[in-house]
Structure 1
Amino acid sequence: MVSSVNKDVHELPDKMNIETDAVIVNQLVGTKGESKDETFEAGTKMIRAFIRCEKGVGLSRNTALSKADSELIHFGDDDIIYDKGYSDKIVKEFDDHPEADMILFNVKAQEGRETYWNVDFAPVTWKNYGRYPAYAIAARREKLLESGVKYSLLFGGGAPYMNGEDSLFLHDCLKAGLKIYRTTVALGHEEAGKSTWFKGYTDKFFYDRGVLYAFLYGSLADILGFRFLFKYRKEMCAEKGLFKCFRLLSDGIGKGRELKKAK
């Protein structure tokens, strides 16, 4: 299930080395076009593409999930290049681990954007779920649908608040009781390019991080938020200072708590 923005859906299957049937949701942002649905063949693969005049990565992933019909599903981005045989690796890993509702695979991120690399097969818990991007995630579709978990429309590219949508998604999956595991199996790599959301350590960066922490950590958001800033203070807070950054983050936490109450 590929989320893309302003891409040619006919080129993506070959560019990404997609080996299976696929659902592509391509959002048209800042460009002319109209919403439409397409179905076409790419070699032996059947591709269903949904072009939408809208924005928001959470909305894109939810649309893809609603259109998928396979037993196993895998979230993807348009800048992921898959290795030959990756699809068989996913199937084998789920066959070998029937206890897993969801498995987080290795995908090599571009240099400077690495957040994780699995070195063992182990459960994903409340202690370590926050490091994984969407393109690591594969799941048993029925289990995910039964859980009722969907991507938040508040966070991520094209949403009101910056990144964090993947962490919140996995948070909600754990809360719903899904059994999540990590694996050393690698599927491919991320194509080099600029971040679509990170514009430096701006006021919005800290405020939005506070909104996210309210959703992830509840009453512990302030404590864990300060710990996060203190740990990375030399990098993140060099310009503004630790306490100004914390005030911005705290304001965001307050907004996040308001949003949670309104849900």
Structure 2
Amino acid sequence: MKLQILVSSLNQEVKSLAEKMNLQADTILINQCNENRYEEWTQDGHQIRCYHLAERGVGLSRNNALLRADADLCLFSDEDIVYDDGAVERIIEGFEQHPEADMLLFNVRVQESRFTYWNSFYKRVRWYNCGRYPAYSFALRTAKMHEKNLTYSLLFGGGAKYANGEDSLFIHDCLKAGLKVYSIPVEIGEEQPRPSTWFFGFDRKFFHDRGVLYHVLYGKLAAVMGFRFLLKNKSNMNSESCPEGLTFDEAKKALLSGIRDAKGGL
């Protein structure tokens, strides 16, 4: 099997970026910038195809890469990921050992403040536990994605109407389409620290957008899952992380308003 890496970047010097990321497979790199042009080159024997596009939106960026993907497997990535030596071989080996899997979620090391998941054993991912995995952990069978016409939402994520949640929605759509998704305890790289492009603290918009997301993900269980999220993050809602000084009740009110708005249509 062959693997292709699908990189989403913003205003990058792409050849330096490709070297820094330690790319070890053919790559499609989408660079959101202020011009439209194409270039390609070879790095360590691998073809790098770069599309400079004058547009914004992480979902749009990932779709542009996914629709051009033509290898057996594809791996989503971001500009701040650096791959371990041998990462590509470990990913391919994962799919060879697990032919039942349409999508595998790998471990990527992150700084403590960004920690949301860690796979300790091989297990099936379901609708109720799919909301904590980032795109850079996703590896997929490309033909399956194209067969099911799966793409990223353009309403959620950096550069979109609602701040985040695009990765959770993508897994949700994969599961809804009947794909078999598994997490696997295999490390492939590390995320380099950088300022967030979308999280500016626990403000009203954050909780409102979270309510919209939970309605799309969980339907009638949106309020229950939202309250669970609030309780889980209550200790993190301090003066530093809450620029608007929201109380717990105010955060809950904002989240519920997002759920109500989503019921009326996005």
User: What's the TM-score bracket when you normalise by the shorter of the two chains?
Assistant: over 0.9
Per the alignment, in what secondary structure is the counterpart of residue 130 of structure 1?
A: coil
Q: Measure how far apart 1:108 and its partner are.
A: 0.5
Q: Percent identity?
A: 50
| C-alpha distance in structure 1 between counterparts of 2:223 and 2:135, whole Å | 26
Q: Which residue of 1 aligns with 2:177?
A: 176
Q: Which residue of 1 aligns with 2:148?
A: 147
Cα-Cα RMSD: 1.4
Q: Measure how far apart 1:3 and its partner are.
A: 0.2
**How do 1:209-248 and structure 2 match up within 5 A?**
209-236=210-237, 239-248=245-254
Q: Measure how far apart 1:146 and its partner are.
A: 1.3
Q: Which residue of 2 aligns with 1:56?
A: 57
Q: Which residue of 2 aligns with 1:133?
A: 134
Q: Measure how far apart 1:258 and its partner are.
A: 2.7
Q: Which residue of 1 aligns with 2:242?
A: none
Q: Which residue of 2 aligns with 1:255?
A: 261
- Does 2:9 match 1:4? yes
In terms of mean alpha carbon deviation, does 224-233 or 196-205 score higher? 224-233
Q: Which residue of 2 aligns with 1:201?
A: 202
Q: Which residue of 1 aligns with 2:3?
A: none
Equivalent in 20, 24, 31 of residue 19 of structure 1: 24
Q: Measure how far apart 1:237 and its partner are.
A: 7.3
- Does 2:153 match 1:157? no
Q: TM-score, normalised by structure 1?
A: 0.93
Equivalent pairs, count: 256
| C-alpha distance in structure 1 between counterparts of 2:231 and 2:107, whole Å | 29
Per the alignment, in what secondary structure is the counterpart of residue 189 of structure 1?
A: strand
| C-alpha distance in structure 1 between counterparts of 2:257 and 2:163, whole Å | 15
Per the alignment, in what secondary structure is the counterpart of residue 118 of structure 2?
A: coil
| C-alpha distance in structure 2 between counterparts of 1:72 and 1:187, whole Å | 15
Structure 2 unmatched runs, 5+: 1-5, 240-244
Q: Which residue of 2 aligns with 1:111?
A: 112
Contact 1:110 1:189 in 2 (8 A): no
Per the alignment, in what secondary structure is the counterpart of residue 104 of structure 2?
A: strand
Q: Measure how far apart 1:130 and its partner are.
A: 1.0
| C-alpha distance in structure 1 between counterparts of 2:44 and 2:103, whole Å | 29
In terms of mean alpha carbon deviation, does 190-199 or 98-107 score higher? 190-199
Contact 1:103 1:137 in 2 (8 A): yes
Q: Which amino acid aligns with 1:23?
A: I
| C-alpha distance in structure 2 between counterparts of 1:183 and 1:224, whole Å | 25
Per the alignment, in what secondary structure is the counterpart of residue 55 of structure 2?
A: coil
Q: Which amino acid aligns with 1:79?
A: D
| C-alpha distance in structure 2 between counterparts of 1:124 and 1:21, whole Å | 28
Q: Which residue of 2 aligns with 1:92?
A: 93
Q: Which residue of 2 aligns with 1:36?
A: 37
Q: Which amino acid aligns with 1:8?
A: E
Structure 1 unmatched runs, 5+: none
**Alpha carbons of structure 1 residues 208 and 237: separation in structure 2 relative to 1, 3 Å:** farther
Contact 1:229 1:237 in 2 (8 A): no
Q: Which amino acid aligns with 2:27?
A: A
Q: Which residue of 1 aligns with 2:124?
A: 123
Q: Measure how far apart 1:226 and its partner are.
A: 2.1
